[in-house]
Amino acid sequence: PSSYANMKDKSDRATNEQVLDPRTRIILFKMIGRGLIHEVNGCVSTGKEANVYHALTPDSAHLALKIYKTSILVFKDRDRYVTGEYRFRRGYNRKNPRKMVRLWAEKELRNLRRLRAAEIPCPEPLEVRENVLVMSFLGDNEGWASPRLKDAEIADRSTYAALYSELVLNLRKLFHQCKLVHADLSEYNILYHRGHLYIIDVSQSVEHDHPSAFDFLRNDIKNIEDFFSRTGVNCLGLRRCFEFIVKEKLETTDGLNEEDVLKKWLEFTPSEGSSEGGPIKAVVEQAAHEDAVFKKSHIPRTLGELYDPEREVAALSLNDWEKPIYADTIELVHPDEKNPTEGDDTQSNDSGELRALSRSSDT
């Protein structure tokens, strides 16, 4: 039986590279059978972890299918998002890429629902079946996908400025209302659709109290600040943008809404073009210096213990999509099962998990 398993592994691996392995094809056939989709057309994007296809419903409405690759190699990179994520706190099963991938697809669906609930522009998630996520298609009536922010042809600077403000306000919402940090945000994961910025690709997004949440957030903000600065927009700068997004309470007491507060913050941004020298230039240099320091410093999230029973109780009252995905719904290597005789707290998660894996394969 082991040689059969080996053979099967090999053929699986080969087909996995092409995304549409037999099992995925069956999922699509079933969707067609149920009348959810009528046909799957061209590939909108081929990526490292997933391909995105355009599909039509029986009523000729456009859909996007994000089909995650089930190759185990693809998901190696993802450890840094999973480590410390309480939804994955018991680790996840590297031996079964299908289950792992299903978890990513589910996570993307739930995260998109949180964004929708907060009215942050993003695709509407419709359903997930294993490694296939079905969502609304962001594009025109002919089925052409809307461009990524990177490729969007936006002529004037004032449009960019408005989009920047909109995005920063939405990132604040993402943090406080959705309690998420995107963790892979850049002009590549934002679509310019109907004049607005739609956030996509949220499968790796982390809870705002993930131990590395602030590091991920700073990186997201850096990408956004860099991009919009290049278009000539007067931005907040990395550190102030971070502060604007994370700050518990903005100065909204004197009748200002968040948008007004952002305007105020932007007015006080020392911009390079505003002066040839003198005191303003000094302020600019000071801000740049602070940003440079900020970029390098680690921002601890002060969460010693990830397991929080109170939080689990609170989760009971949440809507379905807000509930954490507990990794124990799939097969897992529980950290308690790490070799108990060794009892070495300093061991890395990795080696602990490896040991557990090899132990289970001994039996």
Residues identified as active-site: 184, 201
Name the residue number minimizing CB distance to ligand ADP.
47
Given 3-state DSSP classes, what are the helix, strand and coil percentages for the chain, each rounded to the nearest 5? 45, 15, 40
CA 171 – CA 107 distance, rounded (Å): 19
141 CB-near residues (< 8 Å, 6+ apart): 62
CB nearer to Mg ion: pick between 104 and 244: 104
CB nearer to Mg ion: pick between 189 and 212: 189
User: What phi, psi does 54 have (nearest 5°)?
Assistant: -95, 135
What mask, x for binding ligand ADP by CB under 6 A, covers residues 138 to 177?
A: xx-----x--x-----------------------------
**Which range binds Mg ion by CB under 5 A, 67-75, 189-197, 267-275, 336-344?**
189-197
Q: Which residues 281-340 are close enough to bind ligand ADP by CB under 6 A? A: none
Structure tokens at 113: 């629902």
User: What phi, psi does 42 have (nearest 5°)?
Assistant: -65, 165
Among 106, 108, 201, 353, binds Mg ion (CB under 5 A): 201
Size of the site for ligand ADP (CB under 6 A): 18
CA 351 – CA 363 distance, rounded (Å): 19
Answer yes or no: is 215 a known binding residue: no
Q: How far is CA 226 from the centre of its chain?
A: 19
DSSP string for residues in 74-105: GGGGGHHHHTT-GGGTT---TT-HHHHHHHHH
Answer yes or no: is 138 a known binding residue: yes
Question: Is residue 45 involved in binding ligand ADP (CB under 6 A)?
Answer: yes
Q: Residue 281 binds which one of ligand ADP, Mg ion, none, with CB within 5 to 8 A depending on kind?
A: none
CA 144 – CA 186 distance, rounded (Å): 21
**Which range binds Mg ion by CB under 5 A, 9-17, 188-196, 220-228, 231-239?**
188-196
Q: Residue 145 binds which one of ligand ADP, Mg ion, none, with CB within 5 to 8 A depending on kind?
A: ligand ADP
Structure tokens at 210: 């993930």
Q: Roughly what angle, to the nearest 10 degrees, separates helices 157-176 and 213-230? A: 170
Nearest distance, CB of residue 59 and ligand ADP, angstroms: 18
- Tell me which H or E stretch contains 272: none
Question: Is residue 44 involved in binding ligand ADP (CB under 6 A)?
Answer: yes
CB nearer to ligand ADP: pick between 100 and 333: 100
CB nearer to Mg ion: pick between 24 and 189: 189
Question: Is residue 178 involved in binding ligand ADP (CB under 6 A)?
Answer: no
CA 103 – CA 117 distance, rounded (Å): 21
Which of 244, 232, 237, 99 lies closest to 163 in space, CA to CA?
Answer: 232
Question: Is residue 200 involved in binding ligand ADP (CB under 6 A)?
Answer: yes
Please give the annotated binding residues for ATP, written as ranges. Answer: 66, 136, 138
| Contacting residues toward ligand ADP, per CB under 6 A | 44-45, 47, 49-50, 52, 64, 66, 123, 135, 137-139, 145, 148, 189, 200-201
Binding-site entries for Mg(2+): 189, 201
